Amino acid sequence: MDTEPIVHVIDDDVAVRKALSFLLVSAEFHVRVHASAVDFLDFVADIEVGCIVTDVRMPGMDGIEFMGRLRERGFRTPVVVMTGHADVPLAVEAMKAGAVDFLEKPFSDDRFLEVVQSAIRASQDRPTESEEVRAAKALIESLSERESQVLQGLVDGKANKVIAHDLELSPRTVEIYRANVMNKLKAKSLSEVIRMALLVQNRG
């Protein structure tokens, strides 16, 4: 059995597929590209080790529906979704549907490779989540009441301005609370914050 990790890239933009494929091959990953989620489902039966990187908005079948189809087929492959700034709420929805991370465009090459490597490690190790849940829960419990409210707004996919309106705060104050949340949770990205919060909410 071939156990070499394979990164499946799904995007309807041929230029994006080529660029990401070139980057991954340069970093010595095995890569397969697909023009749509339908193409992937038609030609891939299962993945033992690896990950899927998919755009969240695609013609025919978007990332949310695609993840539902993967679950129906019993795929346990880690999925990373790519999204534009305006689609961050959709990316949060994807994480609630099981995505392990999301990348907000434009993202750096280093950030992309870091996320892919993390997803592949998840597919190889498949550790029990109890330790991770406990660690995330302890960090989240260190948040103040207001920081917790801002975190919940982020988990709900709300923009800073919307959170500010809901909490009757200024957008700048929300930005400060958001920075505090990321610092206390030791998170390097919004997706990491969302993943930790959902991990605790779903399994804590």
Position 61 confidence tier, pLDDT thresholds 50, 70, 90: confident
28 and 50 fall within a common domain: yes
The model's pTM: 0.78
Residue 44 shares a structural domain with residue 144: no
User: Is the Cβ–Cβ distance between 116 and 78 less than 8 Å?
Assistant: no
Q: Do 57 and 32 reside in the same domain of the chain?
A: yes
CATH number, domain with residue 176: 1.10.10.10
Is 104:111 a contact under the CB 8 Å cutoff?
A: no
Domain end call among 125, 156, 174: 125
Walk across the sheet containing 50-55 and list its strands.
30-34, 6-10, 50-55, 79-83, 101-104
Among 73, 106, 125, the domain-final residue is 125
H or E element in which residue 127 lies? none
- CA 180 vs. chain centroid, Å, equals 21
Establish if 27 belongs to a structural domain.
Answer: yes
Q: Give residue-wise pLDDT tens across range 161-190.
A: 999 999 999 999 999 999 999 999 999 888
